[in-house]
Structure 1
Amino acid sequence: MDEELTESLRIGIKGRAGTGDTIVEVWYRPPNQEDRVDEALCRQIGAASCSQALVLMGDFSRYQGGWRDDTAGHKQSRRFLECIDDNFLLQVIEELTRRGAMLDLVLTNKEGLVGDVKLKGSLGCSDHKMVEFKILRAVRRAHSKLTTLDFRRADFGLVRNLLGRLPWDKALEGRGAQESWLVFKDHLLQAQ
């Protein structure tokens, strides 16, 4: 199984009553990793991102290009960025971590979970900078009566099929922009 070829370590931090558990995963991606192992890595990231509170960190070698402006230079780097976006993960390191490249990442699925990120000197003979950060945990989980959808678990193919079956040319015929938007919005809400 390709998942066995990925190098990772998972740690669970048990929350106190009223706070959720936090999953911390550390990954190493060798620079010469094969496409099939990269796909396994993305599947594992997808599974991990369903955790309530996740911190994913590690050396994701071969990431080339700008993080913020989405200018990944290699196909594998672009696929990795798509994996991060598809799983709604946030990158919290702002500085380059190794020789002008962003190889070491700290990702989270919950805004505000990771804070006080600092890059320190190297450990031993390593040419990577050490990354120090705090995992910030709320004292009590907020309970809301407002129901929201979890788009990380959505079946976008089914939504696409449901909306694709509609005769849009007839449904929107003779309608203005505002009225067309309301018709589309109604069908989208029904599909959800």
Structure 2
Amino acid sequence: MVFLASRRCGGMAPMTGVLGWKERQGRRVGSVTLYVNDQLECMELHLGMDEKPSKSLWVKIKGRAGTGDITVEVWYRSLNQEDRADEALYRQIGVASHSQALVLMGDFNHPDICWRDNAAGHNQSRRFLECVDDNFLLQVIEEPMKRGAMLDLVLTNKERLVGNVKLKGSLGCIDHETVEFKILRAVKKGAQQALYPGLQESRLWPLQGSAW
């Protein structure tokens, strides 16, 4: 999976961080990667250093003059993920939720969640909903992507922080869609600007050469 934080002009800087993994069978290789435009200042965050490494990546992107920073997390959750790994992520989200601006995005793999009713059939999915509620997060994608299920999510801790969400179709032969959205930040009372226009999530699975 590749997540791009871009702007309308300028090039892409070298990847901020790459988190790679192998499934237990040792066959499938994947990674979570974040590329950030070279005009944006950012730093990788290490939340929960005592935790077992999870398939997530946290960064802080510095805001422009007059605006605050934004914390961004990208995440991949496998369908057979253990409860312990889920809980480690939820603790990290709890720490990050104190940020003034937080955006979480990725493949959370909870196909049984009904976001309209805020309900789920499995214990793991219900626990995820509890984490979302406990940290006052908003889920902004409204259209299902994969076979009627909403696996790829964008969550934020601020109303109207994320806008202009669009599904842009799949990339190549993969069955996930590209999600494009803008992060808006208030610069003065009654006005908003696109602080990070075109922040875009792309599904590229698997990403070769980035595993460990």
TM (norm. structure 1) is 0.69
SS, match of residue 185 in structure 2: coil
Structure 1: distance between partners of 2:51 and 2:86 = 9
Gaps of 5+ in 1: 143-192
Q: Which has the larger radius of gyration?
A: 1
In structure 1, the residue matched to 2:122 is: 74
Structure 2: distance between partners of 1:33 and 1:3 = 15
Residue 111 of structure 1 pairs with residue 151 of structure 2: no
Residues 110 and 150 of structure 2 are in contact (CA less than 8 Å); yes or no, is this contact kept in structure 1? no
Gaps of 5+ in 2: 1-48, 191-212
For residue 177 of structure 2, the aligned residue among 120, 124, 129 is 129
In structure 2, the residue matched to 1:182 is: none
Higher relative contact order (CA 8 A, sep 6+): 2
Residue 24 of structure 1 pairs with residue 64 of structure 2: no
The aligned amino acid for 2:51 is E
In structure 2, the residue matched to 1:13 is: 61
SS, match of residue 138 in structure 1: strand
Structure 1: distance between partners of 2:125 and 2:151 = 11
1:84-112, Cα deviation, whole Å (9 max, x unpaired): 00000000000002111011100000111
- Which structure shows the higher strand fraction? 2
Matches within 5 A, 1:31-70: 31-70=79-118
The aligned amino acid for 2:175 is D
Query: How many pairs align?
Result: 142
In structure 2, the residue matched to 1:161 is: none
TM (norm. structure 2) is 0.63
Sequence identity, in percent?
75
In structure 2, the residue matched to 1:100 is: 148
Q: 1:45 to 1:63 in 2, by over 3 A?
A: farther
Cα-Cα RMSD: 1.7
Q: Residue 71 of structure 1: CA displacement?
A: 2.2
Residues 58 and 105 of structure 1 are in contact (CA less than 8 Å); yes or no, is this contact kept in structure 2? yes
SS, match of residue 139 in structure 1: strand
Q: Residue 39 of structure 1: CA displacement?
A: 0.9
Structure 1: distance between partners of 2:51 and 2:174 = 27
